[in-house]
Chains A and B, each alone.
Chain A
Amino acid sequence: MAVAAAQGKLIAVIGDEDTCVGFLLGGIGEVNKKREPNFLVVDKNTSVQEIEECYKKFMKREDIDIILINQNIAEQIRHVIDTDNDNPLPAVLEIPSKDHPYDPTKDSVLRRAKGLYSAEDMR
């Protein structure tokens, strides 16, 4: 465990072709000894079930500290992302894709933070 911490942990990515190609070009790609990749290329044939399973698998993996997911794909599995997770790591970051710019109003963390303020508190 200490060795893994010293070596650093992985960044996983769930995204469209360009996002995956780009980040793997940057050097985050890994296929470990168990033949498990740390990325999932989502295309029109990828089902929501597959995305959900992959996301859950990444969340369980101890060698992953950050999960990147395209915001438009995150919208498809919002019910899973929004489930309250007590563990701070892995951090789930919603990133823009080529066709869908970043929308802060859809971001899970920002929405949760905004939800802390209610009209009653401001009285």
Chain B
Amino acid sequence: MAASIQLSREELCDGLDQLSLQLLELMDHLIKSNMCLEENLRSGFFHLGKTRFTLGMNAVSSLQLPTSESEVKSLAAVISTPVVLENYSGDIMYHTVDTKFLDPIVTVQDDETGKMISLEGNDHDNKNQGLRKRGTKVDGKQTSDEVSESDLKKGSSVKVKPINRDPIRWFSVLPPQTLKHAQQDFKTAIQLIAQCATTQLKLRAVSKEYKRLHEIKRKLDTIEKEA
């Protein structure tokens, strides 16, 4: 009995040591990630300030944010996946978080031809093709590609509703470079946030396990004292 307690006690202590080290590393990592996030945010705030200087104080404010009357879809999504904690003998699960940015330019189904048409003239391939073939017109005749492209542009036979969901359009139709920089800074911050969240979730899982083992050790200690 005494030997089994001794053995489990050693295992417990090893486990606690491992978890303690992981805890310290994770805390350090979380603080560093947060510092990195802070730098990015500071740069983003600075660029927002510069944009306000250019466009005016109220051009970049909460007045431009969507209200509850309008329906807006998020362009950044997080995907959490449960994984098992590495470098530890027990099965501890935690979630890793990844970010996914969606394309702000929406493609809609063409009713008549069934083709997918890209909006906002973002279909660079088609445009380039049209440009490349501009010299191929013979006696004022158009190639089949150009005919279809011109039909699309006319919009007579195709019903296309252009939607650009990029949030930068809320603030300005012609966004200044500083606003674009600010957007980039905040996008990077969102990616860093996913890293921070992963570290934090790992930290929580490790501390929970540490607490559990510590409780068991405390019980063993009391049993030993009584014996």
Contact = CB atoms under 8 A, between A and B. Distances in A.
Interface of A: 5, 7-11, 17-33, 35-39, 41, 65-66, 68, 88-89, 91, 93, 95-96, 98, 101-102, 104, 107, 109-110, 112-114, 116-117, 121
Given A96-B38, A102-B35, A113 B79 contact: no
Interface string B183-196: 10111011001101
A35 B69 contact: yes
B72 interface: yes
B163 to A, nearest CB: 15
Interface of B: 20, 23, 26-27, 30-31, 34-35, 37-38, 41, 44-45, 48, 60-62, 64-80, 94-95, 97, 100-102, 104, 167-168, 171, 179, 182-183, 185-187, 189-190, 193-194, 196-197, 200-201, 203-205, 207, 210-211, 214
Given A35-B68, A88-B94, A102-B34, A28 B44 contact: no
Contacts, number: 164
A114 B24 CA distance: 9
Closest 9 CB pairs of A and B: A8-B77, A27-B75, A26-B186, A30-B74, A27-B76, A35-B68, A91-B197, A22-B186, A41-B62
A116 to B, nearest CB: 6
Interface of chain B, main secondary structure: helix
Nearest to A103: B34
A9 B73 contact: no
Contact of B27 (A18, A95, A110): A110
Interface of chain A, main secondary structure: mixed
A114 B45 CA distance: 31
A32 B73 CA distance: 7
A38 B211 CA distance: 34
A82 B136 CA distance: 71
A29 B104 contact: no
A96 B33 CA distance: 12
B72 A91 contact: no
